[in-house]
Amino acid sequence: MVSDAERIRLVIVDDQAMLRGALAALLELEEDLTVVGVAADGDEAVQVVARTEPDVCLMDIQMPGMDGIAATRAVRAANSDTRVLIVTTFARPGYLRSALDAGASGFVVKDAPAEQLADAVRRVHAGMRVVDHALAEASLFDGANPLSEREQQVLRLAADGRSAAAIASEIFLSAGTVRNNLSAAIGKVGASNRAQAVRIAQDKGWV
């Protein structure tokens, strides 16, 4: 029998209520795990972690407002004893690198078997790094994100089809500078046009 003091305390962060509930119910079945809080986005995650001080925070990546990468960085900066395990649908090498750079201790996909997820929580809590094997292999071959922060920004804004002038007015640059950044990004990802560059960068998890 595991005492309350011995249980690994968890916070679950996901913008989909059904998935939050399913993960919580699944992990609560484990004798040594207990869920002490949930959050629907990155901003709420930082607040819930600060209030509950969990051992491990299970963090989604794509959420409204503050995303999981930024939230991981914020959680680790404010609560160094809380380890972060990324649990996401988006198994992209670029996300893996960004998550680890932000201070995450692990990265697993949501369709992992229940026992594998629980084991990942235990290993992260024990101070180990846990990374999905297939994703780790892909990240070795895909390489690091070739885009600068500015190029990532203009590609994200270009994703909905807005013009260089519209992007320029939003981020206080000249249209020429935006076009130069778009051109550089297109070349770096090996695309033939802006739309293709956005698609490649999103698929790699670079934006």
- 127 and 41 assigned to the same domain: yes
Structure-derived torsion over alpha carbons of residues 93, 205, 131, 8, reported in degrees to the nearest 10: 170
Q: Show the domain range for 200.
A: 149-204
The CA-atom distances, in angstroms, between 194 and each of 87, 93, 178, 187, 200 are 30, 21, 12, 10, 10
Q: Which residues make Cβ contacts (< 8 Å) with residue 3, sequence separation at least 6?
A: none
Low-confidence residues of the chain: pLDDT under 50: 141
Instruction: Kindly state the tokens that stand for 157.
Output: 């804004």
- Structural domains of the chain, count: 2
Q: Which residues make Cβ contacts (< 8 Å) with residue 161, sequence separation at least 6?
A: none
Per-residue model confidence as pLDDT tens digits over 41-57:
999 999 999 999 999 99
- 88 and 19 assigned to the same domain: yes
**Which string of DSSP letters, residue by residue, matches 30-81?**
STTEEEEEEESSHHHHHHHHHHH--SEEEE-SS-SSS-HHHHHHHHHHH-TT
Distance separating alpha carbons of residues 117 and 132, to the nearest angstrom: 10
- 133 and 155 assigned to the same domain: no
Distance separating alpha carbons of residues 78 and 81, to the nearest angstrom: 9
Structure-derived torsion over alpha carbons of residues 54, 75, 22, 24, reported in degrees to the nearest 10: 0
- 193 and 99 assigned to the same domain: no
Instruction: Kindly state the tokens that stand for 6.
Output: 């011995």
Of 88, 110, 141, the one marking the end of a domain is 141
Of 93, 123, 141, the one marking the end of a domain is 141
CATH number at residue 111: 3.40.50.2300
Per-residue model confidence as pLDDT tens digits over 82-115:
999 999 887 666 777 788 889 999 988 888 888 8
Please report, as a single letter, which amino acid is at residue 101: D
Q: Which helix (H) or strand (E) holds 152?
A: helix 149-158
| Helix, strand, coil share (%) of the chain residues, nearest 5 | 55, 15, 30
Instruction: Give the pLDDT score at 3.
Output: 75
- Which residues make beta-bridge pairs with 35? 10
- 177 and 106 assigned to the same domain: no
- 136 and 158 assigned to the same domain: no
- 118 and 21 assigned to the same domain: yes
- 155 and 137 assigned to the same domain: no
Distance separating alpha carbons of residues 2 and 67, to the nearest angstrom: 34
- 68 and 127 assigned to the same domain: yes
